[in-house]
Amino acid sequence: MDSKQDFLRLMDTQTEIALATCVDGQPNVRVVNFYFDTAANVVLFSTFGDNKKVKEFKANNKISFTTIPHEGIEHIKAIGIVQKSTRTVFDAAEHFIKKIPGYKDTVEQAGDDLVLFEIAFESAVVTLDVDNIGTFELSA
């Protein structure tokens, strides 16, 4: 198992994460599209700026996520910090569209109302199957 290679492959091919927050002892999880910015080592996703998850980020910016496999069990999970990006959805649009072609419609229809967020994390658990589980350190 090559944790770095497998990490990058899964981050490139999987399109959704289950994003978990916790505020006042109440956990919450939701599914969002994402892409992994290899230059900045952050997960990027967009959301409407006035929804519940944004309020939860402000109350507690510690989150966890797991990629969602659509076949088999290969996935990545990590714990990190979420913050509003200095970039916009339009800055990241080509990356989202390359990974998720239908995202073009999302950007065209709702781009002005979407806010881009970043998840920074130091390491991730890479699971290929029950016998192949490793940790990838992003700083390595």
Q: In 3D, which of 15, 28, 17 has the Cα closest to residue 124?
A: 17
Domains of the chain by range and CATH?
3-137 (2.30.110.10)
**Residue with more model confidence, 125 or 110:** 125
The confidence score (pLDDT) of residue 49 equals 84
Residues 6+ apart with CB under 8 A from 122: 80, 137, 138, 139
The confidence score (pLDDT) of residue 50 equals 83
The confidence score (pLDDT) of residue 139 equals 80
Distance CA 130, CA 45 (A): 29
The confidence score (pLDDT) of residue 19 equals 96
The confidence score (pLDDT) of residue 40 equals 93
The confidence score (pLDDT) of residue 2 equals 84
DSSP string, 10-77: HHHH--EEEEEEEETTEEEEEEEE-EEETTTTEEEEEEETTSHHHHHHHH--EEEEEE--SSSS-EEE
Numbers of helices and strands, H then E, in the chain: 4, 9
Q: Residue 140 above 80 pLDDT?
A: no
Q: What is the pLDDT of residues 23-72, one digit of tens each?
A: 999 999 999 999 999 999 999 999 998 888 999 999 999 999 999 999 99
User: Per the confidence metrics, is the pTM higher than 0.85?
Assistant: yes
